Amino acid sequence: QSIKEVFRNAMSNRRFKTIVLTENGIDCIIQIKRALQNNEVVCFHGDRIIGSSGVQLPFLGKSTNFPDGPFHISAITHSPIIPFFLVKEGFNNYCTKVFKPIVIQDNSKEKRNREINMAMKSYVKILEKIVKNYPYQWFNFYNYWNDVN
């Protein structure tokens, strides 16, 4: 109960909005589109999927699933994907790592899947670089490659 109270207090003073994923998905897509139209920043976890969907890509020597939803949203809304990481570099020192935006150039329906796949591969290469440089700061409470291999 005390943890719930701390969480409730922290969330009441926040300066950000949370878009909760729902079963039908349409609700959150509308909220994401509205946020992007308002020039707001929308953040996604690029290395976590919900359920078993996603796109298999090589990562740290094995294939695993990555979420393609953020990339489809980027293609449809013409919004760039900006890889962003916060890493600890010392006792009380954190460093922000921001990479060149990944832009899906061709949004035509015919070429969209190929463009999305190329964008995802670019993102995964960046994630792999970060994980290799900061291996103890990327942790999962499950076998990340279990469902694929």
Q: In terms of pLDDT, which residue wins out, 24 or 84?
A: 84
Question: Can you give the pLDDT at residue 149?
Answer: 46
* Residue 148 pLDDT exceeds 60: no
Average pLDDT of the chain is: 86
Question: From CA 122, how far away is CA 69, in angstroms rounded?
Answer: 15
Q: Which H/E stretch holds residue 122?
A: helix 112-133
Question: Can you give the pLDDT at residue 139?
Answer: 85
pLDDT tens digits for 10-48? Answer: 777 777 888 877 766 788 888 888 998 888 888 888 888
CA atoms within 13 A on the CB side of 56: 9
Percent helix, strand and coil across the chain, each to the nearest 5: 40, 15, 45
Q: What is the pTM of this model?
A: 0.81
